[in-house]
Amino acid sequence: MNSSDKALFFFSCLGAFNGLILSLYLFFLRPKKHFSGYLLAAILLMISIRVGKSAAYFFDYNLPKIYLQIGLTACFFIGPLVYMFTKAEIKQIRKIPRAWLIQLFFWLLVILSIGLTYPYQYHPQFWGKYIIPLIYLQWGVFMGISLILISSITRKIIKGETIKSSEKLVLAICGAITILFLFYVWAILNITKGSYIIGALWFSLIIYLVVFILINRKKTNDLFSGSNNKSADRKTDLKEVEQIIERLQKAMTEKSLFKNPNLKVNDVAREINISGHYLSRILNENIEKNFTLFVNEYRINEACTLLSQTTNITIEAIGDEVGFNSKSTFFATFKKIRGTTPSVYQQSITPDL
């Protein structure tokens, strides 16, 4: 190996190593944890494994086939994780949906089943003809979906609108990994000799850029859309708000969340996959109610329904049923919202017999 090959090998492996370190930092050491941060850490980890395999194999074609299989297996998760990261940032999802867990388990089951049934070491032609094209097809499909998701951000740029730091991060990650994907596809098609190692070098550049951003930002807490910041004055997309309010109302009525006397804003936010801070903003800015009043109106409406339907249970029991943990709170809230007491309300709607 001459000096130029050594330099190429060094910089190729350096990106994989730094990507691994950065992923560990995002997983365990970053002071403020975010769901999107965990997804980004997983992306960097998978790419680091994939790139490390590429660099090692480029300089040693006698590398044991198990390392090639591990690298390709990691590659199978890059596309789904990029899609999940992109959607989590754009839709402000703060908790992993059950469907995503099922999807990741499905992909894991598929690749493990193939790997155990047809190990790369004994079936290299089968992998080359079917599995590797399938892996890159899956990666490409998810990258295409991710690029469609960020179209709302690109439209803002075209219109000359200011975009958030978190949106810049999403654009950078999607754009960089799309280029990385194209490098590997270019290499598989063998269009240009030596293009296989370019993907590893490009990933090294990505890592240096990400680290540069982290080091040089005076404030890094706004890198993810769920970060706490003082940008409440920025207008939220109206269509997005309408969709969230629809999900909120559906969760409150169908699951009767208001009947929980200890209900907190974060409990409701988790049900509709947004942050508690974001939910409070929507309630205050778009519904013009705080969380307590919003929930209590559901409780009082349900109490009125029960008061009109039955007279064989006490008013205090109705208060307990709809989510109030004390008689005094129920009576005070009822009078504040309805302008009268529960007993007077019941008498006014009960027909004389």
Cβ atoms 232, 281 nearer than 8 A: yes
221 is a domain residue? no
343: Cα within 13 Å, side-chain hemisphere: 4
pLDDT at 50: 82
- 188 shares a domain with 40: yes
Cα separation, 163 vs 159, whole angstroms? 11
Long-range Cβ contacts of 16-19 (<8 Å, 24+ apart) = 16/48, 16/49, 16/51, 16/52, 16/55, 16/200, 16/203, 16/204, 17/48, 17/52, 18/204, 18/207, 18/208, 18/211, 19/44, 19/45, 19/47, 19/48, 19/51, 19/203, 19/207
pLDDT at 281: 86
272 is a domain residue? yes
Which of these three, 216, 249, 275, is where a domain ends?
216
pLDDT at 234: 45
Cβ atoms 265, 276 nearer than 8 A: yes
- 242 shares a domain with 110: no
pLDDT at 211: 57
User: Two tokens at 327?
Assistant: 């008689």
CATH number where 245 lies: 1.10.10.60
Cβ atoms 223, 165 nearer than 8 A: yes
226 is a domain residue? no
- 206 shares a domain with 339: no
Parent domain of 297 = 238-349
CB count, 10 Å around CB of 280? 17
Cα separation, 306 vs 288, whole angstroms? 27
CATH number where 110 lies: 1.20.1070
224 is a domain residue? no
Which of these three, 216, 251, 276, is where a domain ends?
216
pLDDT at 199: 58
Residues of the chain with pLDDT under 50: 194, 218-220, 228-236, 353
* Residue keyed to tokens 């009960």: 350
The total domain count for the chain is 2
- 124 shares a domain with 264: no
- 211 shares a domain with 243: no
- 94 shares a domain with 138: yes
90 is a domain residue? yes
Cα separation, 318 vs 314, whole angstroms? 7
- 251 shares a domain with 149: no
- 114 shares a domain with 22: yes
pLDDT at 11: 64
Which of these three, 216, 247, 273, is where a domain ends?
216
Specify the pTM.
0.60
202 is a domain residue? yes
- 317 shares a domain with 173: no
- 177 shares a domain with 122: yes
